[in-house]
A and B are shown apart, each in its own frame.
Chain A
C-alpha cells in the first residue's frame, strides 16, 4: 500500500530541515549542547518539529564540514556519556552568512505578504 503523504506536512518538514542547520548553529553560538538538548530547544520554543531521527545525521554532516566540533563527556548528571557539540570559527562565519540570508529571505517574503494584504 502506498504511503499517504500530507502535502502540507511534507512542505513543513522540508522547510524545517532547511532551517534546522541555522537553528543548530545559533544555539551552539551560545554554548556547547548535546543532541537531545538541541532538539528540545528547537522543538520547544522555536516549534520547528524536527524529528528525533533527523538531528544526528545533520550534526554528523556539520561536523564533517568542519562547522562544529564534537566531544564526548562522561561527567553527565546520569553518568551516561554524551556527545557535546561546539561551534568552530568556520561555523561561526557560516552561521552569520546563513542568518543574513535568512533575514533577507524572510524580509522579502514579509514584504510580499504585506503587499498582498494591501492590494
Chain B
C-alpha cells in the first residue's frame, strides 16, 4: 500500500467509527476518534502495516458499540428515570445474560401488574362480573359469565391493590435496572 492508500484506509475506518458513535456527545466522539487515530498512527510508525493494525482493531461498529453501551448505562443511572434505565438495559441486552435476565424479570412483573390494572379498569364499567373469582373448579382474575357459580374475593380492594402493584412494579423496575446497570458498568 502507498502512503496515500494507507491514509485513505485509516480515514475510512475513523469515519465509520465517527458515524457509529453519533449517539454520543460531540466532545466524546472527538476525543475517541482522536485517541483512536493516535493509536493507529503510532502502530504504523512502529512498523506495522495498516491492514494489520486495522485488523487488530475491532470492526468500527463493534468498537463504537462498546462506548455507546457504557455511555447509555452511565447516563441512565445518572438520570434515574425508569424509561432511560429500561432503554439502557435493552441496549445492553445483546449478548449479556444479566441485562437479558433483568429484562425478562421486569417483563413478568409488569405483565402481572398491568393485568391487575386492566381488570380494575374493567371492574369500573362492569362491577358484577369482573374480579378475582374462586369457585369449586375455577380460580382466575377477569370476567366471569355467571357470577352465581363463584365467589368474588377482592371486591373494591382490587383498586388499591392494582395501584399498589403498579407502584411496586415501577419501584422494582428502577431498583432492578439500576442494580443491573451498576453491575454491567462495574463488570469490566
Whether chains A and B associate is: yes
Interchain CB contact under 8 A, A83 and B70: no
Interchain CB contact under 8 A, A61 and B188: yes
Contact for B42 among A17, A36, A51, CB less than 8 A: A36
Kindly provide the distance from the CB of A42 to the nearest chain B CB, expressed in whole angstroms.
14
Closest B residue to A82 by CB, please name it. Answer: B38
Kindly provide the distance from the CB of B176 to the nearest chain A CB, expressed in whole angstroms.
21
Closest A residue to B31 by CB, please name it. Answer: A83
Q: Which of B64-107 contact A (CB under 8 A)?
A: 66-67, 70-71, 74
Interchain CB contact under 8 A, A81 and B34: yes
Interchain CB contact under 8 A, A56 and B188: no
B57 at the interface (CB under 8 A from A): yes
In the assembled complex, the Cα of A34 lies from the Cα of B96 at a distance in Å of: 29
Interface size class of B (residues with CB under 8 A): 20 to 34
Interface SS of chain A? helix
In the assembled complex, the Cα of A15 lies from the Cα of B70 at a distance in Å of: 19
B140 at the interface (CB under 8 A from A): no
Q: Which of A49-74 contact B (CB under 8 A)?
A: 51-54, 56-58, 60-62, 64-65
- How many A-B residue pairs lie within 8 Å, measured between CB atoms? 61
Interchain CB contact under 8 A, B66 and A57: yes
In the assembled complex, the Cα of A35 lies from the Cα of B37 at a distance in Å of: 12
A/B interface sample: 17 pairs, CB < 8 A? A17-B188, A18-B187, A20-B188, A21-B188, A35-B35, A51-B57, A53-B58, A53-B62, A53-B63, A60-B32, A64-B71, A65-B185, A65-B186, A78-B45, A83-B31, A83-B34, A83-B35
Binding site for A on B (CB under 8 A): 31-32, 34-36, 38-39, 41-43, 45, 53, 56-58, 62-63, 66-67, 70-71, 74, 185-188
Q: For the A-B complex with A53-B62, A53-B63, A56-B63 known, give 10 more contacts whose Cβ atoms are closer than 8 Å.
A: A35-B35, A36-B42, A51-B57, A53-B56, A56-B39, A57-B66, A57-B67, A60-B70, A78-B42, A83-B34
